[in-house]
């Protein structure tokens, strides 16, 4: 599959330190916040990030305080055309493009938007592309008319 934009190489930014008491004694909750932030950054998708953050209050707090760092590292894998998704988020009233931070809610909105766009592209490829191929491949003279002078056909 081809994308309109190429994923960029991400860098890990220093995490915000979070020291919270944990009720459980499992290995993940006893790790330092810096290491847990790196684990978040290495996850393959935002679904995984959100699932990990939902496991306990401490991990949710680490996610919400390090959202921008985690976003920068997961977005090339999680949203292939993230630059366009970021523009769309701004158009929806989200933070300005030059804003250095994003909230967890902003990231969730971008993920939802990307799923909606993926469904729309799939529907377009399923319904419109075959029609265009059958119409223009069966009658190439129509395509040449459109390419030469699109106005008579109603195209601009």
pLDDT digits (tens, 9 = 90+) for 41-88: 999 999 999 999 999 999 999 999 999 999 999 998 888 788 888 888
Residue 91 covered by a domain: yes
Whether residue 23 lies inside any domain: the answer is no
> Is 51 a domain residue?
yes
User: Domain range for residue 145?
Assistant: 33-153
In a domain? residue 145: yes
Query: Domain count of the chain?
Result: 1
In a domain, residue 135? The reply is yes
Asked if the structure places residue 138 within a domain, the reply is: yes
Per-residue model confidence as pLDDT tens digits over 117-140: 888 888 988 888 888 777 766 666
Q: According to the model, what pLDDT value does residue 115 have?
A: 85
Q: How far, CA to CA in Å, does 29 sit from each of 10, 21, 52, 54, 96? A: 26, 9, 11, 13, 34
The mean pLDDT value of the chain amounts to 78
User: Helix (H, G, I), strand (E, B), or coil: what is residue 49?
Assistant: helix
Integer CA distances (angstroms), 33 to 73, 103, 123, in order: 16, 18, 42
DSSP SS3 for 19: coil
> CB–CB of 84/121 below 8 Å?
no
* 3-class DSSP assignment, residue 44: coil
**18 is a domain residue:** no
**Average of pLDDT values for 11-35?**
65
Question: Does any domain span residue 16?
Answer: no
Predicted confidence (pLDDT) at residue 36 exceeds the cutoff of 60: yes
Distance CA 85, CA 79 (A): 8
CB atoms within 10 A of CB 46: 22
């Amino acid at each position: 599959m081809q994308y309109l934009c190429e994923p960029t190489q991400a860098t890990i930014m220093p995490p915000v330190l979070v020291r919270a008491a944990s009720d459980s004694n499992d290995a993940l909750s006893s790790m330092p916040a810096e290491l847990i932030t790196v684990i978040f950054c290495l996850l393959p998708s935002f679904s995984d990030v959100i699932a990990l953050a939902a496991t306990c209050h401490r991990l949710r707090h680490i996610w919400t305080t390090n959202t921008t760092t985690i976003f920068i590292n997961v977005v090339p894998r999680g949203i292939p055309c993230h630059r366009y998704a970021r523009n769309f988020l701004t158009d929806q009233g989200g933070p300005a493009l030059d804003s250095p931070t994003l909230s967890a809610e902003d990231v969730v909105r971008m993920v939802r938007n990307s799923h909606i766009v993926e469904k729309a592209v799939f529907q377009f490829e399923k319904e419109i592309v075959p029609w265009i191929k059958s119409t223009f491949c069966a009658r190439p003279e129509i395509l040449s008319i459109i390419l030469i002078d699109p106005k008579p056909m109603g195209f601009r």
